[in-house]
Chains A and B, each alone.
Chain A
Amino acid sequence: MDEVLFYNSVGDPAKKHSTSFGFVSSTRSTQQVGQYRQCYSANNGTVLTGINGENKIISACHSKALVHVYILGKESPEQTIPVPEELICLELCPHPNSTDAWLLVAGAVSGRIYVWELDSGLLLAVKESHYQSVSVIKYVKGYLVSGGADSRVVVWKVLDMMSDSHKPYAIYTDHTLPVTDLLVTTGLVNDLKVWSVSRDQTIRCHDLTSQTLVTTFIAQQPVSSITADPAYRSLYVGYEDGTIRMVNLFDAPSKTQIWEHVGGYGKVITLKDDPELRETFVSHQAEGNSITKLEISFDGSQLISGDSKGKVLVSDVATKQIVRTLKPLAGAVSTLKLFRIKSDSLKYAPTKSSVRGIPVLKRSLVDEPELQRHVVFKKFEKADKAPEFNLERFLDITKSEAKWFTNFTNVDSTVKKEKEVDTAEIDRLREANAALRQKYDELYETHSKLLMNNK
């Protein structure tokens, strides 16, 4: 098994983005799998539909109303699609019954949220979500959660977005400065929680069902990014001073000596200074450097972090030491996406039959007549599998067919010879027959002669 990381940055407009690359690298080895030219976006502005086969990289170009689409394995953009306005962040929603991408959701600089159906390119919804630009969007179980520079967190139900409803499911207005990152937990709908971080130095957790503020952590620095342990045992938050702080979500208070979830019921908890650096990663700490993206590995043992100077580090969570330094980027790191793959299973080269792009994203909102002409682009596939030999089943079939060749009755209808044929008798009869035939022929000849003579 291996883990590969896609990462890119906001790019370097001074060099016309000639040095703006997106890379795909292994986090467990030194292997670099691929690179993509002119792949730059604002923070959270790039998404991948997957990491194998015909999957795509979709990147909202930073400071431009354009989207670049790459097919994995090809360095240059396959498509450049104009969009209604400059997009800041992107998010993909998978189909409810599969892992294939279904919706492309984009947060724009105006605060609007755009929802495109990827199979058709139809613009299904445009919602006024924020008063300032949208900084991050996350999707989970039919809900879209967006955080904006207006310091609000807005939750939408995808089903409601497709209807004419303009009312979001919930709005959290607890932050006082721009929301920089979001983390939505997974699980049953009733258990979903939204963690939001902001430049106001708070990390807030809201319960999605009850729409209540569950916990607030107060950090020492403006918080720029967040990720969590896969089992939600701890949070990792990136500060604007370049440090990363680990926040344990379980604790055993000294008096009760019972493990308890930290926080809950609206508690506000101040994170203490950590002078001994037991819960702090300082690998990125430098003048004017801030953590822009964080990602955690499959087993929760490695933390991948990107900073505003384009440095991407893989750190060991236990020792807080750098394990690997990945190829640096031009500009602040804007996307980190980890994918779990089987070792050496990456198949990259697009073939003749590969679907190389996505439908053109429509710039006008879909209306009823257009929905009546709903056409989707699909590639129906069926995996071929070599037939398996199941001996038990094969023997059953053989027995079942064998009955048609078997006589189960007591009646034997085969013809059997009763006794040996007497060849001497046959010879005698043959001779007699020949003699008789000769006499007959003679008689016939005589008769013919007599008839002729009479004439």
Chain B
Amino acid sequence: MSVEWFPLSSVIPYLEKSKIKEIELTQLITVLARGSTIENASKVDLNHLCARVNTFLSSNDTESRWIGTKLVVVVCTHLEILSSEYTANYLGSLIRILGSKCYIKDEASAPVPAIKTLESCCDALEFIIGNIRGKQTLTRQTLTPKLPAIIGSLLENVTLIPDKTISLLYNLLANNSTTFRPFGSKFETALVSIINNQNFQKFDSALQHKILKSLALISFNLTKNSPSELWRTRFDHFVKELKSTIQIYTEFMSLEEDEDLWLQFNALPSIPADFQPTFSPLQVDLNESSVEVLKVVSRIEVLVNLLVEFLAVPTPQVKVPLNYLVMIGQLLVAINPTFTPIRRDIRDPTLRQTIAYSATLLNHIGLRLLDVLPKFFGGDLLPHLTSILSAVDTLVPVHRTDGKISLNEAGIVDKSELIFASFQTRINYLELVEGFSNTSVLNRSIETAIILLKPRLPDSLANGTEQKLKNVSISDLLADQQLFVTEPADYQKQLLRQFFKVLLTKCQLSLPKQTDILRMVILDAVNGAEVKELLYAALLFPNKEAHASVLPMVKQLLSNDDELMSVFLNPRLPLLPQKRAIEIQEPEEEPEVEDLKRPLVEEERSVKKVKIEDPVVEAEEEPEQPEEQEQPDSDHEEMIFKSVGTISIPEPTLNQQVEEVKPEQSPEQPDEPESELESDFEIPEIDVDED
């Protein structure tokens, strides 16, 4: 038994409401978290501890309850306490705290300590439930009887502490669907009302994600019969709802003018006349305010996110309409005033610009949907690859002059956020392929990436346009223009580097395009950017047509202690045969033993053979490392190339056509025949005669 354990009895007296302030809570928690504290405690002390933690939980005082929720987590980390009868008591006390809502009278202005206590209570419940799960007897005896009360009390607090309660309810829904069944309808109603509420958009994205995930799971999880069919029905239902929402855009924009888009739109499931949408109808009055159109965008975003959540929740085997997902993604990406013009009857320029802006937001949503698909479907998306990349390519703004298409640089800079998002989509899809050679859908994006990497002056300075606002520091603008040069943000540069990497490693680019990329990469590295992986890619995936190697530059750019470069320049593995000058060895350098074993005639014959057989290799293809080759690390070689074929060294005979290999002697090291004999390297019996 260790003597360093902390005596539990010394902290027990502080576990009272009146004395708890006398000890630092974090220290108390640290002491209680140690396994030895509990293992070495007496039965009486343990009972005292457990009872007092429960007393804290049962207190009417908010702070005491909060302390109780913290202590209960720590004591339940010990299996001895978790598997005791106290766990059921703790669950009961935690349920009572949730049931009482910490005596909050006005939920609109609830005191923060009470909220924190309720949240901490949910954390404690989640921890205890998570640790009980999987332990069958404990689950049956302790958790299952309390589950209905837990679910009920959590549902009571959904609006008060949605973050914690929805997370916990989702876990219970996924793992205890039978117990959850009576509460399913109530939970679903609560979730839908939260989503329909205007405040839903004010939630952080993590909470929105939890809410939508729960709604997706509850849509099919509680049914007794064929949940996979219900999954598909509900999925199709939300696809229809999404279609009906996108249909609103046909009032603003001529979607039918883009044939592909219109085909895809019509290929989505048709909406029946008696269709009952889950979400409340949208009320959009563009005459009142042009910003109303953004309500449609928000609803589309919610529905798209909900469809994604249908893929993220655990399901039985389901039939996923991959075509719908790809079509929705492409459709949203393709809504673009250039190809689907805004209807002429909308004349208000403000409204027209707002609609055009909303189309960009829809493009973002489409890209986000397309982004997540590779994670779920992997190679299944490859039949759609070209079509998806083509759709994404349409986001690049172009000029059309005299029938010739050129990139619209100003448009690219203006839509840079969208363009950067499209790079992420391309990366996600190109990572699925090897040797992608259809570069027609990539060339434009490479040029765009190079444009976006360039530093630039703000338009107002670059074009000398009139200042719209009174400018105090006009002298700065005129004298030090370089101070106002803008570059892409670091995360954007990182994204472009990822894009370049995937182009170099997964695509077969033309030499000019690859040279453009390598130039940007090397310039980036010279300017001190951390582009190690990109330099590796440049080195390991050279263009077939390239005449010059990037090796010297990469060597210089990577630090001297770079491990991969070291291996690259000093290869550990044997090289393929290469032409080398064979010098007739001086008799004095040859050990006498060798002379005895090998007749001179045979040696001369072998030397001639090597000279004739070894093909010529151009010097630049394999940089010669004579020192490394001549003096290999024999220990490592023996370890790596230890023969797998024999365990004994056969005696060399004159009949053998292959001579025994001996490590080359360095002048400093004396010959050690013993070590040679100990080697278990096998003599290969390969005739190197050329046919």
Binding site for B on A (CB under 8 A): 93, 95-98, 100, 102-103, 117, 119-120, 124, 141-143, 157-159, 162-163, 188-190, 209, 216, 218, 229, 231, 233-234, 246-248, 250-262, 264-272, 274, 276, 278-279, 300-301, 317-319, 353, 355, 366, 371-382, 384, 386-387, 389, 391, 394-395, 398-399, 401-402, 404-405
Contacts and interface: CB of A to CB of B under 8 A. Distances in A.
Which 6 residue pairs across A and B have the least CB separation, nearest first? A142-B434, A254-B659, A95-B378, A268-B691, A259-B574, A252-B661
B247 to A, nearest CB: 20
Contacts of B433: 96, 142, 159
Given A248-B684, A318-B647, A374-B383, A255 B582 contact: yes
Contacts of A376: 319-320, 322, 377, 380
B320 A375 contact: yes
Interface string B266-303: 01000000000000000000000000000000000000
A124 B376 CA distance: 20
Contacts of A218: 691
A319 B644 contact: no
A278 B650 contact: yes
Given A218-B691, A391-B30, 5 more contacts: A124-B383, A250-B641, A257-B664, A269-B687, A374-B322
Interface in B616-670: 617, 629-630, 632, 637, 640-641, 643-647, 650, 657-664
A386 B134 contact: yes
Nearest to B123: A397
A190 B541 contact: yes
B363 to A, nearest CB: 22
A384 B133 contact: yes
A304 to B, nearest CB: 15
Interface stretch (B124-132, B193-201, B495-503): B124-132
Interface in B368-386: 374-380, 382-386
Contact of A96 (B379, B386, B686): B379
Contacts of A264: 576-577, 615
Most buried by A among B130, B377, B379: B379
A117 B380 contact: yes
B120 interface: yes
Given A159-B382, A248-B643, A378 B376 contact: yes
Given A103-B379, A278-B682, A399-B26, A96 B431 contact: yes
B410 interface: no
Contacts of A386: 130-131, 133-134
Contacts of A353: 316
* Most chain A CB neighbours (cut-off 10 Å) among B313, B383, B386, B573: B383
A380 B311 contact: yes
Contacts of B577: 260-261, 264-265, 267
Given A233-B641, A250-B574, A255-B607, A95 B379 contact: yes
Interface of B: 25-26, 29-30, 33, 62-63, 66, 70, 73-74, 77, 112-113, 116, 120, 126-127, 130-131, 133-134, 174-175, 267, 311-323, 326, 374-380, 382-386, 431-437, 540-542, 544, 573-577, 580, 582, 598, 603, 606-607, 610, 613, 615, 617, 629-630, 632, 637, 640-641, 643-647, 650, 657-664, 682, 684-691
B250 to A, nearest CB: 21
Contacts of B685: 272, 274, 278-279
Nearest to A251: B684
A300 B603 CA distance: 35
B687 A375 contact: no
A298 to B, nearest CB: 14
Contacts of A391: 29-30, 33
A143 B436 CA distance: 12
A118 to B, nearest CB: 9
Contacts of B319: 375-377
Nearest to A122: B383
A190 B544 CA distance: 10
Contacts of A374: 321-323, 326, 380, 383-384
B617 to A, nearest CB: 8
B322 A259 contact: no
B380 A380 contact: no
Given A374-B383, A398-B25, A380 B435 contact: no
A371 B383 contact: yes
A74 B73 CA distance: 44
Nearest to A93: B379
B647 A380 contact: no
A195 to B, nearest CB: 16
A97 B374 contact: yes
B29 to A, nearest CB: 6
A355 B379 contact: no
A54 to B, nearest CB: 9
B690 A379 contact: no
Contacts of B174: 382, 384
